[in-house]
Amino acid sequence: MDQRAIGMFDSGVGGMTVFKELMSSLPNEDIIYIGDTASFPYGGKSKETIIELSKKQIQNLINKNVKMIVIACGTATSQALKEMKHLFSIPIIGIIEPTAIYLKKENIKNIGIIATAGTIRSRGWEEEIRRKIENSHIQSRACPLLAPMAEEGWIDNEIAKLVIHEYVKDLKDIDALVLGCTHYPLFQRLIKQELSEKVKIINTGKMVSNEVKEYLKKNHLENEKAHQPNYKIYLTDTECNFIQVASRLVQDKTIIKNIEKI
């Protein structure tokens, strides 16, 4: 039993799609979230920069006394998870491996991946999936405009529709489309419209929350005390649309009301 909070970070509001899943599958756990809005976007930055930014946010979370860390960001998972595991002794979970395990379990082999330019360049998704699933066919597309549009709150308008169409139109014969950036579930409705009915849309938040749940259980780190969980959100820069976009995701508006600058 460990009553400390779970720590998580992303470059901005995208990781809140993972936060939402953690809230519902782990209703006893406190969560501390950092949105590194001062450094947004992570998507086009170099691996060296992503490592430095991840280090800083992980240290910030450790200073807040969390029991484990979720990198709720595809870009940071694909380019910095390995290095962070090396540097820190605290348990750290990213978004790629839990999702690859799920794809294997479901025997899905024809897979589309959409993610930021940095994530696609790193081949982090491709390598992990190929390691787990023999004979997988993977089509990857970088979608550099989507995360900035999500931060702007443009998640359901005509421009978002056109941009998504342009990015996914050439994906052929896929059985699943992995939303390889945590901002993308915000566009889930529009993405679904662009794909054939049979294509499964993979929101990594669900797989990550299952993995966190399993990890806590296996290591006896669950918070077993029945209580109203504490959720705390910090931003590295508060001059942004975080509240507006996050409130479309999270029902309980009190969670996003008392945001602090870190």
Output 149 or 221, the one with its CB closest to ligand DGL. 149
181 has catalytic annotation: yes
Q: Which of 11, 99, 140, 223 binds ligand DGL (CB under 6 A)?
A: 11
Which of 248, 217, 190, 232 lies closest to 25 in space, CA to CA? 217
Assess 255 for contact with ligand DGL (CB under 6 A): no
Residue range at the interface with ligand DGL (CB under 6 A); choices 25-33, 176-184, 206-214, 248-256: 176-184
Output 6 or 221, the one with its CB closest to ligand DGL. 6
Least distance (Å) between residue 83 CB and ligand DGL: 16
* Token representation of residue 183: 């901002």
240 has catalytic annotation: no
Omega into 41 within 30° of 0, i.e. cis? yes
Least distance (Å) between residue 145 CB and ligand DGL: 10
* Token representation of residue 70: 């979720």
Q: Which residues contact 12 (CB under 8 A, 6 or more apart)?
A: 35, 36, 37, 40, 41, 147, 150, 151, 183, 240, 242
Q: Which of 7, 14, 112, 205 binds ligand DGL (CB under 6 A)?
A: 14
How many chain residues touch ligand DGL (CB under 6 A)? 17
Q: CA-CA distances (angstroms) from residue 5 to 73, 109, 184, 217, 261?
A: 19, 36, 26, 15, 18
Least distance (Å) between residue 116 CB and ligand DGL: 4
Write out the binding residues for ligand DGL, residues 30-59 only, by CB under 6 A: 40-43
Output 42 or 102, the one with its CB closest to ligand DGL. 42
Output 204 or 223, the one with its CB closest to ligand DGL. 204
Output 179 or 221, the one with its CB closest to ligand DGL. 179
Assess 26 for contact with ligand DGL (CB under 6 A): no
Least distance (Å) between residue 233 CB and ligand DGL: 15
Amino acid in the structure at residue 60 = N
Assess 60 for contact with ligand DGL (CB under 6 A): no
Assess 73 for contact with ligand DGL (CB under 6 A): yes
Assess 119 for contact with ligand DGL (CB under 6 A): yes
Q: How far is CA 51 from the centre of its chain?
A: 16
Least distance (Å) between residue 45 CB and ligand DGL: 8
* Token representation of residue 53: 């930014």
Catalytic center residues: 73, 181
Contact footprint for ligand DGL (CB under 6 A): 10-12, 14, 40-43, 73-75, 116, 119, 147, 181-183
